[in-house]
């Protein structure tokens, strides 16, 4: 997909399809009104007849002969007084989804984010490219029948009101294109079944990224090296499976050689059966998504390389399966982490924190400016925040605020949850330094408290994406989140 910016009125634009907005009140957007005048009041007539109601996400495709465009897509914007980033992105997703079913090869959007801010042109471009890229994404289906052909849409423009906004809009479009490419990689990896996407497959994909981009290098540590590093917690999770575990280190070099990197740590459990603390069958297939944290780290590194982010970023991905077997770790076993601290494994299904704690200890060697770990860590997080908002927990309130602000700007929301000394008591053990699991109360928070025992002295935040990483039901699949948030966070960091 090629993205571009244009200036000028909707009535003059040469394109296969002009996209204009209509509010629920029946008010035409400025561009829709301009086009309507050129079309002799055709859009207004549709509104008057109540054929077009402006409901959010509603689309109406008109064939037009006048002017330079062949089609007009009228997109419902919902209520005018609550219109913002969320509705803007939603309208573009609806438009792109409808466009993909037409023969249009090119389209230009005249939608705007209101109220207009100084960064309007940048985010209009970025969110548009992310929305269009996301809407055109197709699951890499493994089917016996032929794949449906790709939609003919090849280029997508956004219109800005003044020529001098074009550079900002183009910068936003370029960033959005890169972020969408990263999120598509995240979705591809997460959507693959666990019999394809194994730790070894993730390692291969890391080497693939390093081959594709000069700015990226990949290093893969195998089990003998993990043993040498004394990663007893990580190794205890992989003990039950035949698939070899990998620790994948992806380096993106965009800053100066000596610049301290931002380290992103991603949970890469390619299948979480629960281990000896076996999960219930309903929904167990969805535990192939338990490597989405890892996939979002891959996606962020790819996006960074695509847009040439001027920072150093290192992705650290502990990848393994969590399976029961005669060799599997048992509830009550005590393991020693790389940090030297011992852990009583109360529940083998609390495996994410066990692989992350050793990865976080490893991250210290990289002398990071900041460490952010991303994980589908707890069912409790899904109960707390549902499917729309990721959780952020941190010992550093400023860092948590940076991440939640990035989520608001990128329209990839996250919420700062508390993490205080009181919660740590729940992880007490009679047999080891602490336990890996405890009661259900505050489960997302106690998981973060567990990780905090390994991040002392680091500038660190934890993101629990258990609710936001993928959808269930008929739309089952990876969402590509939180790649937009992570990228916004990185883009706003001072080098
Ligand atoms: N991968 C799961 C968390 C999860 C649950 C992600 C639902 C997405 C949807 C994690 O490994 C897990 O099993 N956590 C346990 C922790 C508990 C045993 C302390 C959980 O949440 O039940
Ligand atoms: Mn688990
Ligand atoms: Zn898990």
| Ligand 3 centre distance from Cα of residue 323 (Å) | 11
Closest residue CA from atom 17 of ligand 1: 350
CB of 384 sitting under 6 A from ligand 1: no
CB of 464 sitting under 6 A from ligand 1: no
Q: What is the pLDDT of residue 60?
A: 96
Q: What is the pLDDT of residue 66?
A: 61
Catalytic residue among 171, 279, 330, 336: 279
Chain CA centroid to CA 311, Å: 19
Q: What is the pLDDT of residue 383?
A: 98
Q: What is the pLDDT of residue 173?
A: 98
Q: What is the pLDDT of residue 119?
A: 64
Closest residue CA from atom 8 of ligand 1: 466
CB of 442 sitting under 6 A from ligand 1: no
Catalytic residue among 353, 409, 453, 481: 353
CB of 381 sitting under 6 A from ligand 1: no
Chain CA centroid to CA 243, Å: 27
CB of 13 sitting under 6 A from ligand 1: no
Q: What is the pLDDT of residue 327?
A: 98
- Whole-prediction pTM value? 0.97
Chain CA centroid to CA 211, Å: 23
CB of 373 sitting under 6 A from ligand 1: no
Q: Specify whether 353 is catalytic.
A: yes
| Ligand 3 centre distance from Cα of residue 96 (Å) | 34
- In this structure, which ligand is nearest to the CA of 270? 3
| Ligand 1 centre distance from Cα of residue 286 (Å) | 11
Give the residues of the chain that fall short of pLDDT 50: none
Q: What is the pLDDT of residue 145?
A: 86
Distances (CA, A) of 371 to 260, 264, 423, 447: 11, 6, 22, 17
User: Which one of 279, 349, 434 would you pick to mutate in the ligand 1 pocket, going by the greatest count of ligand atoms within 8 A of its CB?
Assistant: 349
Average pLDDT of the chain to the nearest whole number: 96
Residue 61 burial (C-beta neighbours within 10 Å; 0-12, 13-18, 19+): middle
| Ligand 3 centre distance from Cα of residue 289 (Å) | 9
CB of 188 sitting under 6 A from ligand 1: no
Cβ neighbours of residue 347 under 8 Å, at least 6 residues apart? 277, 331, 436, 437
CB of 379 sitting under 6 A from ligand 1: yes
Residue 454 burial (C-beta neighbours within 10 Å; 0-12, 13-18, 19+): buried
User: Which one of 320, 379, 470, 481 would you pick to mutate in the ligand 1 pocket, going by the greatest count of ligand atoms within 8 A of its CB?
Assistant: 379
Residue 302's closest CA among 156, 448, 177? 177
- In this structure, which ligand is nearest to the CA of 380? 1
CB of 351 sitting under 6 A from ligand 1: yes
Ligand 1 atom closest to residue 436's alpha carbon, by position in its atom list: 19
Cβ neighbours of residue 340 under 8 Å, at least 6 residues apart? none
Ligand 1 atom closest to residue 352's alpha carbon, by position in its atom list: 11
- In this structure, which ligand is nearest to the CA of 447? 1
Please state, in angstroms and rounded to a whole number, the distance separating the CA atoms of residues 47 and 369. Answer: 55
Ligand 1 atom closest to residue 279's alpha carbon, by position in its atom list: 13
Ligand 1 atom closest to residue 290's alpha carbon, by position in its atom list: 1
Residue 20's closest CA among 7, 32, 8? 32
Residue 173's closest CA among 217, 108, 220? 108
Ligand 1 atom closest to residue 438's alpha carbon, by position in its atom list: 19
Cβ neighbours of residue 127 under 8 Å, at least 6 residues apart? 85, 88, 89, 92, 113, 172, 176, 411
């Amino acid at each position: 997909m090629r993205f571009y910016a244009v200036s000028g009125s909707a009535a003059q634009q040469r394109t296969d399809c002009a996209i204009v907005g209509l509010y629920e009140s029946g008010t035409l957007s400025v561009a829709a009104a301009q086009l309507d005048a050129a079309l002799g009041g055709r859009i207004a007539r549709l509104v008057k007849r109540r054929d077009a109601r402006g409901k959010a996400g509603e689309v109406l495709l008109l064939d037009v002969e006048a002017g330079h465009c062949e089609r007009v897509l009228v997109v419902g914007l919902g209520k005018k007084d609550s219109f913002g980033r969320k509705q803007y992105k939603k309208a573009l997703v609806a438009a792109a989804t409808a466009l993909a079913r037409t023969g249009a090869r090119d389209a230009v959007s005249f939608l705007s984010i209101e109220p207009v801010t100084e960064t309007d042109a940048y985010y209009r471009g970025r969110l548009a490219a992310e929305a269009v890229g996301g809407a055109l994404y197709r699951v890499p289906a493994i089917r016996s029948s032929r794949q449906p052909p790709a939609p003919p849409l090849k280029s997508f423009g956004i219109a800005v009101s003044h020529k001098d906004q074009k550079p900002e809009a183009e910068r936003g479009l370029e960033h959005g294109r890169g972020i969408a490419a990263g999120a598509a990689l995240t979705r591809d990896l997460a959507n693959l079944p666990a019999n394809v996407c194994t730790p070894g497959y993730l390692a291969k994909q890391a080497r693939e990224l390093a081959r594709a981009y000069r700015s990226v290098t990949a290093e893969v540590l195998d089990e003998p090296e993990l043993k040498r590093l004394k990663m007893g917690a990580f190794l205890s999770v992989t003990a039950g499976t035949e698939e070899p575990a990998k620790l994948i280190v992806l380096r993106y070099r965009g800053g100066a050689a000596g610049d301290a990197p931002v380290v992103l740590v991603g949970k890469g459990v390619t299948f979480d059966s629960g281990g000896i603390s076996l999960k219930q069958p309903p929904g167990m297939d969805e535990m192939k998504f338990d490597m989405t944290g890892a996939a979002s780290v891959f996606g962020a590194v790819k996006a960074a390389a695509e847009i040439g982010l001027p920072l150093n970023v290192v992705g650290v991905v502990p990848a393994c399966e969590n399976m029961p077997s005669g060799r599997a770790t048992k509830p009550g076993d005590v393991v020693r982490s790389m940090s030297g601290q011992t852990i009583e494994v109360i529940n083998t299904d609390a495996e994410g924190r066990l692989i992350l704690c050793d990865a976080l200890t490893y991250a210290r060697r990289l002398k990071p400016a900041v460490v952010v770990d991303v994980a589908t860590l707890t069912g409790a997080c899904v109960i707390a925040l549902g499917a729309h908002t990721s959780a952020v927990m941190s010992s550093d309130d400023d860092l948590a605020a940076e991440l939640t602000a990035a989520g608001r700007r990128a329209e990839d929301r996250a919420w700062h949850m508390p993490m205080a000394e009181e919660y740590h008591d729940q992880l007490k053990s009679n047999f080891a330094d602490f336990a890996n699991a405890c009661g259900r109360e505050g489960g997302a928070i106690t998981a973060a408290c567990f990780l905090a025992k390994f991040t002392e002295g680091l500038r660190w935040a934890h993101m629990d994406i258990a609710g936001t990483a993928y959808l269930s039901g008929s739309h089952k699949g990876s969402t590509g989140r939180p790649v937009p948030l992570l990228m916004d966070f990185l883009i706003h960091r001072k080098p």
